[in-house]
Structure 1
């Protein structure tokens, strides 16, 4: 099988931007179980980052860490350049982001700006750095973790949602710009993520888990999908909600 095709269906090397992301780590575990043997975890140096790396090493992957801060775009080219200088990367997962606190962030514009800078500005910078590196090597996939929150503004999370809307639009445009180069961009739009320890009865409607998202990412890579919804039925739900008049949308219980 040609190398560039094999990189999608059975990647051997992986770079995670946001090295402690539950979703990205669940994806790494799935890919390690198949064929992946080299994993880079990029994130702020911390015990959690080192613990995540050690857990992947125990699964048999050569796992390394690299200091990376979404809020320091001037350092992105240098930090990520070190990774690509060590060898080709088949899959990059852009998985960092912060939820923020809507009520607090509305009262604190600087806090709101940090949400936007992390989720959008930091992603634009690091995404372009990785896209160029993938293009230089002639193959690879960039997986961008977006969110259903970016599909339509809601009163309860419009600061976070707007940052994800910007990220989603950027990723789609980047995918078009890279079409035909051997580099594939895949946007992942999960519903609310149910974390460990969250009772099912307390989860939001259509809530998913990191493991379910990881399975969808792996399948999407195999199919070379451009957009992945998790769960899949979310595509139909949002197709309808996107066109609901605002006067009615404001009265829906999902606000």
Structure 2
């Protein structure tokens, strides 16, 4: 993929069992993608995910990758890039945590932060540098609408995504003009197996809808993608709401 708006032939997924990532991989395989690396902790779920993509005709490899082991990232991910050009990296790992429980258990709160932010900083710098070195490619970072303004109901998760979002935007600025680029994706509440049982919120979406938005963003050369698009205006309004009023909203 030399043209920045061309769909990728090769895809590296960080967070290889993510439902959003797999929906995106399926969509891209149906278009143009032929080689996929699924990176994640070795598990039956990872192997099953790889098998489901192979059934679609892709050449799929699994890579042992741990977001919480940043010292291994350069070696592990470097081996992937050594096998050939990677057109698209999808950074899709992350955990929601349990706000009510995590407020009372700082160690669990730190685990959310380490996964969603610290691990992503490491992986983002490694893959961003590799894309720059090869002179082309896109890093797609799954942020969240929650990054725009942390709410009382999820400020641990929201603050971790806010850090990730700011990092990804800065990395995009650093890569500007190198041939590599960053696209930040900010979905609202996504209905997946992991969010089953949680209260539904307005503007909820699905992995397939996020995948569709990612493809459209790649074709357009977008730097930021909201899913659904109406969230852009809503979150902008919330971001500028005075704090005294914001607290009374009970969000």
- What range describes the TM-score normalised by the shorter chain of this pair? over 0.9
The corresponding residue for 1:245 is 242
53, 60, 63: which one aligns with 2:50: 53
User: Secondary structure of the residue that 1:250 maps to in structure 2?
Assistant: helix
1:196 Cα shift?
5.6
> How far apart are 1:236 and its partner, in Å?
0.6
Aligned to 1:191: 188
**Which 4+ stretches in 1 moved above 4 angstroms?**
196-199
Aligned residue among 202, 205, 218 for 1:221: 218
- Equivalent residues in 2 for 1:28-177 (5 A)? 28-177=25-174
The 2-side partners of 1:241 and 1:9 are apart by 35
How many Å apart are 1:248 and its aligned residue?
A: 1.0
Structure 2 unaligned spans of 5+: none
d(CA) in 2 for partners of 1:80, 1:52: 19
Q: Is the 8 A contact 1:8 1:141 kept in 2?
A: no
Q: Deviations over 1:88-139 (max 9, x none)?
A: 1000000000011111111111111111010000000010000111111110
1:194 shift after superposition: 1.5
Q: Is the 8 A contact 1:8 1:140 kept in 2?
A: no
Q: Is the 8 A contact 1:39 1:64 kept in 2?
A: yes
TM-score of the pair, normalised by structure 1: 0.95
CA displacement at 1:239 relative to structure 2 = 1.1
Distance 1:156 1:196 in 2: 20
1:206 matched to 2:199? The reply is: no
Output the aligned Cα RMSD: 1.7
Task: Provide, for residues 54-101 of structure 1, a one-character-per-residue CA deviation record: whole Å limited to 9, x for no partner.
Answer: 000000000000000000000001110111111110000000000111
Question: What corresponds to 1:4 in structure 2?
Answer: 2
Hey, what's the Cα distance between the residues in 2 that align with 1:161 and 1:236?
A: 18
Unaligned 5+ segments in structure 1 are: none
State the TM-score, normalized to the length of structure 2: 0.96
Q: Tell me, in whole angstroms, the C-alpha distance in 1 between the residues paired with 2:192 and 2:128.
A: 30
Q: How many residues align?
A: 251
Q: Secondary structure at the match of 1:203?
A: coil
